[in-house]
Each structure stands twice: as C-alpha cells, then as structure tokens.
C-alpha cells in the first residue's frame, strides 16, 4: 500500500481518484511545521503540496521512502529542487490547470486599477458618496506590455485584444509566427517599458527576472502608467515601485504576490492608496483547484505504480511525439545497463551509448537516464532512479558519451552500451523486435539473440564439438533447467559464447565447476530482478 501525505489544503474532488485507488492510502494533515513534517514524513511514498508547505532538504532527508512530491499548481519555489534531484525524488507540477484562472485574476486586477474599484468600494460602504476621486481610464486603445508570453501571458494577451488594447509581448522563446497568430506585436523589454500604458508580468522568478522592473525602468516609463504582478513577488522591485508612485510616474499598481508572503503589516503597499493587493489568490477558483489536484493526483498514481508520467520539473521536458518514440525503449535501456554492469569488473570510468536507426533522429536524453540508472543500480540499488542517475554519475566522475549513427546491423533501432572501467571494456547491444519484444543482439563481439529477463548464464568457450552437451549435463546434474540456449561465434573453431536462459539462480559452486570444465574460459551469471 502506497502512503500519500497531503500537507496543504487541496481540492477533495481533485484528489478523489487518489483516495479511491485501492493501493493508495491518503492522509490529510495540513498546517504542519517543518519539525512536525520531519517527524512523520518517513512513512510516506508521496507528498502533495500547494504553496504553503516549504519542502526543505531536512524534510526530504527524513522522507526516506519519498518517491514523488506533487505540486498542485505551477510555481515550485517552495520545493528545494536541487535536494530533490540529489535524492532521486521526482517533483511534478500541474502547469496547465490554473492558467485561465490566473489570467482572469490578472485581468480583474487590471480592470480594478483602471477604475479604482477597491478604493471606491471602501468609501462607498463607509457611507461616503465620492465620485470625483475615482476618475478612471478605458482599456480600449491603450498599450498593454506583457512580460512573459507563456501560458498565462498568452491568455491575458488574447483577452486584452478583445478589449481593443494594443499588445506588445516579450518572451525569450516567443517567435514572430506565434506573435502573428496571437495578433500582437513582439517587442523588447525596453520597448514595453517605454511604450506601455499597462504592464503585466507573467514570468517565473529567476536570477534574470528578479527586479527586471526596478528604479532605472521606472525612470523611462510613460507617466501615468499602471502595473500588475500576478506572477511572482520580486519580479518588480517593490520599493522602487512605491517611489515611482510617489513621484507620479506610476498611477496604480495591483499585486497578488510579494517578495515575502504574507507581507509584513508595515509593508508600504498596504497603506498606499494607489496600490491594490490580494493574498496570492491568482489560482484560487473552484475550477483551477480541481484541475490542478486532478492533474497532480493522476501523475502521483502513475509514478507510484511505476507507469509513465509527465510534468516532472526536475527532469527535462519531453514532447509527446518524442516520448511516444522513446518510451518503448526505457525498459530495454535499463536492462542493457544492468547487463553490461554485471559483465564488467572495476570502477566505471565511462558509459558510451550509441543510438542507431530511428532513435538517432530523436532526443534520447530521457532514455540515456534509464541506461545510466541500470548501470549504477548494481552498486547503488534503489538509491538510483531516472531523476538522479545523471547526477550520481557526474558526482562519481563517470563520463557519459552519447553517439548517434545510422548503422543498424539490420535492426530498425539499435542501442549499444559500452562500459569502460579501469579494468576492461564490455559491450551489450539490444533492440525491440516486432512481435518478440526486447532482445539482446550482441555481447562484446558476438552476435546473439536472447530476451533480457530472469537468469542468464554466459559461458565463454572454445568452439569445439560437445560443448553444449557438457554444459547441459552439468546444469542438469545440478537440477537447473534450461529454458533457451544460444551460441554466438565469430569464426568456426574460434572463441564462442553460449547464452543460456535458466529457470533459477545458478549457485556459485556450479559457476566454479563450469569455469574448470575443459574448453570453457569464463562463466558468469547475469540476473534481471
Ligand atoms: N498568482 C498565482 O496564484 C499564480 C502565479 N503563477 C505564476 O505565474 C507565472 C507564469 O506562469 P505560466 O504562464 O503558467 O508559466 P509559463 O512557464 O507558461 O510562462 C512563463 C514564461 O516566462 C518566460 N520568461 C522567462 N524568463 C523571462 C524573461 N527574462 N523575460 C520575459 N519572459 C521570460 C518563459 O519563457 C515562459 O514563456 C509563474 O511565475 C507562475 O508561478 C501561476 C499560477 C498561479
Ligand atoms: O496554489 C496556489 O494557490 C498558488 C498558485 C501559484 O502561485 C502557482 O501555481 O504558481
């Protein structure tokens, strides 16, 4: 039974499928301190959070069974990603579920500052009928600058068009084609700063975006402009903004997010009549909370059950069409790694992976992670997984060399893994055969055809008559049943390799007997658990 801890308020409807899963037990325990979480996290396989829980390295260290942290939302700044990657904990988020909701909040904020709605409401409910102080502006024909044209920024731009605004967008990944499609102008940050009547930011907080709007930018803005931040506190310099408002450069600002949340009671925003604030409500709708909880629950179940998943934040994203092509090879890749590491002796120096055929045409990075995992698994056991395999190889100074070629030796796709240690160099190649599944097709220089499963016995011998008989008799005498057998040789009468698939583990003494049998040079068991 997998145990999942939900440590922030997350939609019950959204996590229903987790609660209904027969192999999952869900505990809801919210508002815990770091110490309280450290005390209980050791029993859980998965942790589900929104943004309140700060998932620190201490919590992950105590979470010895933790395999996945699910963030019901977009930003993962409350999760220490580096610590998660080092520990092999997969961090997933739900990037799509709250896009529209947050866009609508940003839009509501823009309209609210255009028409002073919160300030007017304040006075009206106090019985003050003040119509003079709240002269607003129309959105129509105004220039809206959108910094960050990702999911939310693009939706804001679409809605702004319907309001008759002229939109200038900036995003390092924005192409002219996409801008044309959205009917907006592509500009630089400087164009936006100088020309916009309204600016809305929709970027993550990164070293590059931190204070991307600060003192020097406010200096050159259009007097009377208005600014909105429903992305992350810190993208706009808060103190510089207050100063720009005092100097009449900025007419109004709307913030849903703050450099420190919640802001201190004496934060200058809270007493400024031209700044309106909400308590990080961007994603707070029934729909968004259900969506993100559904998305993250689905992924958590997949990860716990060892099924393919998406939206891992601490692994490179893979487009669906690429994933479709490489996913069938994940298991084979891992088995090639397991196989070649059992063949080798001595500390690993380099893993050379060669992809040929159709695999040479696609991004195979995720597949390489499986191969590296397989190689390291023999020594690191369950401490290695596809999230941390590359990191663990790197900290052990193991070089990973990936090559692509079109030489497929007659197979549609071929993966060749060569392991260089400081004692030897061994090679295993495998493919997926239509109708036959995973096959090992080469071991060192010998062509073979064997399924990588269960117990394999490798016997290196001289190519002489009677070898199959003597190996078969020895195994038979020790009650070891042979399921399949293959002999690979390069030249008649030269050295050859026998690969036997056997029904149970081969005891050490039997391996020793094989090694001392005439004409046999080596014997080795390879185990796939
Ligand atoms: N207030 C709230 O409750 C919510 C806030 N958010 C936040 O909103 C922000 C945007 O979210 P999404 O649109 O879903 O993310 P996204 O990843 O789809 O879009 C972010 C965009 O910012 C762009 N970007 C990165 N650096 C940039 C730079 N220096 N200048 C201009 N653009 C840059 C990226 O290229 C990307 O296209 C995130 O920070 C997210 O955490 C998201 C949901 C709810
Ligand atoms: O969970 C929340 O309410 C915060 C949403 C958010 O900021 C995000 O998804 O990035």
Confidence at residue 308, expressed as pLDDT on a 0 to 100 scale: 77
Q: What atom of ligand 1 comes closest to residue 148's alpha carbon?
A: 32
Q: What is the pLDDT along the chain (529 residues), one digit of tens a residue?
A: 999 999 999 999 999 999 999 999 999 999 999 999 999 999 999 999 999 999 999 999 999 999 999 999 999 999 999 899 888 899 999 989 999 999 999 999 999 999 999 999 999 999 999 999 999 999 999 999 999 999 999 999 999 999 999 999 998 878 888 899 999 999 999 999 999 999 999 998 888 899 999 999 999 999 999 999 999 999 999 999 999 999 999 999 999 999 999 999 999 999 999 999 999 999 999 999 999 999 999 999 999 998 878 788 888 777 888 888 999 999 999 999 999 999 998 888 999 999 999 899 999 999 999 999 999 987 777 678 888 899 889 888 899 999 999 877 788 899 999 999 988 999 999 999 887 899 999 999 999 999 999 999 999 999 888 889 989 999 999 999 999 998 888 788 888 999 999 999 999 899 999 999 989 999 999 999 7
Give the separation between CA 229 and CA 281, rounded to whole angstroms.
12
**Which ligand neighbours the alpha carbon of 70 most closely?**
2
**Residue-by-residue DSSP string for 172-225:** TT--HHHHHHHT-EE--HHHHHHH-SEEEE-----TTTTTSBSHHHHHTSPTTE
Would the CB of 154 count as within 6 Å of ligand 2? no
Confidence at residue 334, expressed as pLDDT on a 0 to 100 scale: 96
> Is there a contact between 528 and 452 (Cβ–Cβ < 8 Å)?
yes
**Which ligand neighbours the alpha carbon of 106 most closely?**
1
Confidence at residue 407, expressed as pLDDT on a 0 to 100 scale: 77
Tell how far the Cα of 288 is from the centroid of ligand 2, in angstroms: 10
Would the CB of 10 count as within 6 Å of ligand 2? no
Would the CB of 207 count as within 6 Å of ligand 1? no
Our separate counts of H helices and E strands in the chain read: 18, 22
Would the CB of 311 count as within 6 Å of ligand 1? no
Confidence at residue 520, expressed as pLDDT on a 0 to 100 scale: 92
Give the separation between CA 312 and CA 310, rounded to whole angstroms.
6
Q: Which of 132, 156, 134, 133 is nearest to 145 (CA)?
A: 156
Confidence at residue 176, expressed as pLDDT on a 0 to 100 scale: 85
**Helix (H) / strand (E) containing 239:** helix 238-246
Give rounded-to-5 percent helix, strand, coil for the chain: 35, 25, 40
Catalytic member of 138, 261, 453, 512: 261
Would the CB of 123 count as within 6 Å of ligand 1? no
Q: How far is CA 353 from the centre of its chain?
A: 23
Would the CB of 283 count as within 6 Å of ligand 1? yes
Tell how far the Cα of 105 is from the centroid of ligand 2, in angstroms: 12
Please tell me the total number of residues recorded for the chain in this structure: 529
Write the DSSP symbol of residue 11: -
Tell how far the Cα of 30 is from the centroid of ligand 1, in angstroms: 27
Give the separation between CA 303 and CA 515, rounded to whole angstroms.
43
Query: Does residue 455 have an active-site annotation?
Result: no
Q: What atom of ligand 1 comes closest to residue 147's alpha carbon?
A: 31
Q: What atom of ligand 2 comes closest to residue 72's alpha carbon?
A: 1
Residue-wise pLDDT for 94-142, tens only, equals 989 999 999 999 999 999 999 999 999 999 999 999 999 999 999 999 9
Catalytic member of 67, 116, 202, 280: 280
Give the separation between CA 352 and CA 72, rounded to whole angstroms.
38
**Which ligand neighbours the alpha carbon of 74 most closely?**
2
Confidence at residue 529, expressed as pLDDT on a 0 to 100 scale: 73
Residue-wise pLDDT for 412-457, tens only, equals 899 999 999 988 999 999 999 887 899 999 999 999 999 999 999 9
**Helix (H) / strand (E) containing 402:** strand 399-405
Query: Does residue 36 have an active-site annotation?
Result: no
Confidence at residue 382, expressed as pLDDT on a 0 to 100 scale: 66
Query: Does residue 232 have an active-site annotation?
Result: yes
List, in sequence order, every residue forming a beta bridge with 168; answer none if it has no partner: 145, 185
Which residue has the CA at smallest separation from atom 7 of ligand 2? 75
Confidence at residue 409, expressed as pLDDT on a 0 to 100 scale: 75
Catalytic member of 105, 232, 420, 489: 232
Confidence at residue 288, expressed as pLDDT on a 0 to 100 scale: 97
């Amino acid at each position: 039974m997998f145990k999942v801890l939900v440590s922030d308020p997350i939609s019950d409807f959204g996590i229903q499928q987790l609660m209904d899963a027969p192999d999952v037990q869900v505990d809801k325990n919210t508002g815990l301190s770091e110490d309280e979480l450290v005390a209980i996290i050791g029993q859980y396989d998965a942790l589900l959070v929104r943004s309140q829980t700060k998932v620190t390295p201490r919590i992950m260290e105590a979470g010895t069974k933790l395999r996945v942290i699910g963030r019901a939302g977009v930003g993962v700044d409350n999760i220490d990603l580096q610590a998660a990657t080092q520990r092999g904990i997969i961090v997933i988020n739900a990037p799509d579920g709250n896009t529209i909701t947050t866009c609508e909040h940003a839009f509501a904020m823009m309209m609210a500052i255009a028409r002073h709605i919160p300030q007017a409401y304040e006075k009206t409910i106090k019985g003050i009928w003040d119509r003079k102080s709240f002269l607003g502006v129309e959105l129509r024909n105004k220039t809206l600058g959108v910094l960050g044209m990702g999911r939310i920024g693009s939706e804001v731009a679409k809605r702004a068009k319907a309001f008759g605004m002229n939109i200038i967008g900036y995003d390092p990944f924005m192409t002219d084609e996409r801008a044309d499609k959205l009917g907006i102008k592509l500009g630089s940050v400087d164009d936006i700063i100088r020309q916009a009547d309204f600016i809305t930011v929709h970027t993550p907080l990164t070293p590059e975006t931190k204070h991307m709007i600060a003192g020097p930018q406010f200096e050159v803005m259009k007097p009377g402009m208005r600014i909105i931040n429903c992305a992350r506190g810190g993208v706009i310099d808060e103190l510089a903004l207050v100063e720009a408002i005092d100097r009449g450069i900025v007419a109004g600002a709307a913030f849903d997010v703050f450099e420190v949340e919640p802001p201190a009671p004496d934060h200058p925003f809270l007493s400024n009549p031209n700044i309106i604030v909400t308590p990080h409500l961007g994603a707070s709708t029934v729909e968004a909370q259900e969506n993100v909880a559904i998305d993250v629950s689905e992924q958590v179940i997949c990860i716990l059950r060892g099924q393919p998943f998406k939206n891992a934040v601490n692994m490179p994203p893979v487009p669906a069409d690429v994933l479709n092509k490489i996913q069938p090879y994940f298991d084979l890749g891992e088995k090639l790694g397991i196989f070649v590491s059992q063949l080798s002796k001595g500390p690993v120096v380099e893993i050379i992976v060669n992809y040929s055929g159709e695999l040479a045409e696609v991004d195979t990075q995720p597949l390489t992670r499986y191969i590296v995992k397989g190689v390291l698994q023999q020594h690191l056991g369950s401490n290695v997984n596809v999230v941390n395999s590359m990191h663990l190889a790197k900290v052990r100074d193991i070089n990973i060399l990936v090559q692509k070629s079109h030489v497929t030796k007659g197979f549609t796709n071929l993966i060749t893994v060569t392991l260089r240690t400081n004692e030897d160099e061994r090679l295993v190649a495998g493919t997926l055969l239509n109708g036959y599944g995973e096959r090992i097709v080469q071991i060192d220089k010998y062509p073979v055809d064997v399924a990588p499963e269960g117990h394999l016995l490798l016997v290196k011998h001289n190519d002489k008559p009677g070898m199959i008989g003597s190996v078969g008799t020895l195994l038979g005498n020790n009650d070891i049943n042979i399921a399949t057998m293959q002999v690979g040789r390069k030249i008649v009468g030269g050295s050859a390799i026998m690969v036997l698939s056997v029904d149970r583990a081969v005891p050490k003494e039997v391996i020793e007997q094989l090694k001392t049998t005439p004409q046999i040079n080596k014997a080795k068991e390879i185990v796939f658990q």
